[in-house]
Structure 1
Amino acid sequence: MTELLWGRQPAPSRGPKPAITLTGIAEAAIRIADAEGLDAVSMQRIAGELPVTKMALYRYVPGKTELLAVMSDLAMGAPPERPGLPWREALQMWAMDLYAGFSRHPWLLQSTIGRRLLGPNELAWMEQGLAALGDSGLRGGEQLDSILVITSHVRNIAQQSTTFPGHSVGLTEEEVTQSLAEILSTESERFPNLAAALRTAAGSENQGLEFGLDRILDGLELLISARKD
């Protein structure tokens, strides 16, 4: 697995010149997952997208578990470079960039959970997030926990706001808002606090993401300031 993720797997040396590459296989899998969801990805389906047989794919990747790791790291990509920002702005942009990545490839929310090996792109995201806190005075464990908390918040909001490709149930944000408004138009006495809150809840599309992120960063700012006093 490590060799596949880090590009240390030698290309097949026997037989005719390879018609495909591991990257090409992962890119085909990504296209399928983007269009139809993670459950639609299979060796048979990928073979149908490429000029090879299903069995030929196993010369490059042992199975779907390994393929998911490779395609996830490839879809994550390297984090955008944003040099010279103060720590708070750097982490804010880092979080928004991460959210954008989950929005482009919603299936990453499913494939990047649990204990697993990390590839170079995922580690590059961690590296960039930690770099923002390098001069903060926080200890290493605190820096790692800070990144974990921010990532968890981003993932949670992305999970709640995403309609996953291939799922039979999924509404747009507009449909959810309209449905809730219709319910509360006749049930406001039953849910008075919810109705009152929604009447004054106008904001940006990412209001929950931005609000939670600001509160996390406020807490970090207090901790960092205390360490420097």
Structure 2
Amino acid sequence: MSAPTALELLWGSPQRPRRGPKPSLSLERIVAAAIELADAEGLANLSMQRLAERLGCAKMALYRYVPGKAELIALMIDAAIGAPPELSARQGDSSEEPWRARLRLWTLRLHEGMLGHPWVLEVTLGIRPFGPNEMAWTESALTALADTALDGAERLDAVALLAGHARTIAQQSANTDTGNLEAEMARQFSDSLATRAADFPQVIAAFAESGPPQARNNALDFGIDRILDGLAALTARR
């Protein structure tokens, strides 16, 4: 019998419990331990051997559940991203149009999830198998846009724009010490330009007008607003 593929592991039916003692390992436990290891030490330090040591089992025991690291990572992504947020409750909490409020919350939660598991940013590029949780995030965002005048392709592109924006800010913030990307950039620019202010007057002016460094962390919200504004303008023309 051939080993299961990543898609089969992601979308396959859960195994029915067998009679007798509960096995010490399960696919869910393996994936959870792998996520903990990647969160703590980075994806580069994740190996089947390290994972086996963490679980207190032989390396070969893992292969009874998952055929290799590639399939394991596919399962890790879907488990780490989890289920999408409940968006319907947001409708009564905001003066925005419902679709805008829901997409704003969707993007903010996606960004938070990426920052919570920075290794996800490394492995969610290009063509790869999508699991049920990731698909549910897409379904959730498309549902928020279902009553707008956008067609199917435009709704998909809108979701890609918002996800891409969340990802870009998360990638930048993941490499900072505080998570406040703009504040750290401002400090670095200030040090770099301390003696060259006359050469870069617009940079100096822009940072001066944006408030103290600790208050600068608005790129995520600003980008969400501009994307939603563009979508609103497009729907208004319809």
How does the TM-score come out when normalised to structure 1?
0.89
The equivalences for 1:167-182 within 5 A come to 171-172=177-178, 173=180, 175-182=184-191
Distance 2:118 2:185 in 1: 19
Q: Deviations over 1:81-139 (max 9, x none)?
A: 12152001110111001011011111111121110111010011001100100010211
Task: Give the 5 Å matches for 1:116-195.
Answer: 116-163=128-175, 171-172=177-178, 173=180, 175-195=184-204
Residue 190 of structure 1, CA deviation: 2.1
Check if 1:105 corresponds to 2:139: no
Structure-2 change in CA distance of 1:107 and 1:205 (3 Å):
farther
- 2:227 is the alignment partner of 1:216: yes
1:10 Cα offset (Å): 4.2
Residue 2 of structure 1 and its aligned partner are, at CA, apart by 1.7
Q: State the distance in 1 between where 2:167 and 2:74 align.
A: 18
Partner residue of 1:19 out of 18, 24, 33: 24
The offset of 1:17, in angstroms, is: 5.2
Q: Which moved more, 1:184-193 or 1:140-149?
A: 184-193
Count, aligned residues: 220
Q: Summarize the Cα distance change of 1:90–1:190 in structure 2 as closer, same or farther, 3 Å threshold.
A: same
Paired with 1:89 and 1:221, the residues of 2 have a C-alpha distance of 12
**Cα deviation code 1:50-89 (max 9, x no counterpart):** 1311111000001010000001100000011121520011
Say which SS state the counterpart of residue 168 (structure 2) adopts: helix
Tell me the TM-score normalised to structure 2 length.
0.85
1:89 equivalenced with 2:98 (yes/no): no
What residue in structure 1 maps to residue 11 of structure 2?
A: 6
Cα–Cα, structure 1 residues 6 and 202, in superposed 2: closer, same or farther, change >3 Å?
farther
Q: Secondary structure at the match of 2:53?
A: helix
| 8 Å contact kept, 2:210–2:216 | no
Unaligned runs of 5+ in 1: 164-169
Letter in 1 for 2:75: V
Confirm or deny: 8 A CA contact 1:77 1:121 kept in the other structure. yes
Q: Which secondary structure state, in structure 2, belongs to the residue aligned with residue 128 of structure 1?
A: helix
- Judged with a 3 Å threshold, the aligned counterparts in structure 2 of structure 1 residues 141 and 102 are, in CA distance, closer, same or farther, namely same
Partner of 1:57: 62
The reply to whether residue 66 of structure 1 matches residue 78 of structure 2 is no
Number of the residue aligned with 2:209:
200
Deviation at 1:176, TM superposition (A): 4.4
Which structure carries more relative contact order (alpha carbon 8 Å, separation 6+)?
1
Q: Distance in 2 between matches of 1:188 and 1:103?
A: 34
| Structure 2: distance between partners of 1:136 and 1:197 | 36
Distance 1:206 1:152 in 2: 18
Given that 1:11 and 1:60 are in contact with CA atoms closer than 8 Å, whether structure 2 keeps it comes out as no
Contact (CA 8 Å) 2:186, 2:207: kept in 1 or not?
A: no
- Unpaired segments of 5 or more residues in structure 2? 1-5, 92-97
Q: Distance in 2 between matches of 1:197 and 1:56?
A: 58
The residue matched to 1:135 in structure 2 has which SS?
coil
Q: 1:183 to 1:91 in 2, by over 3 A?
A: same
- Distance in structure 1 (CA, Å) of the matches to 2:206 and 2:88: 39
CA distance in 2, matches of 1:223, 1:161: 31
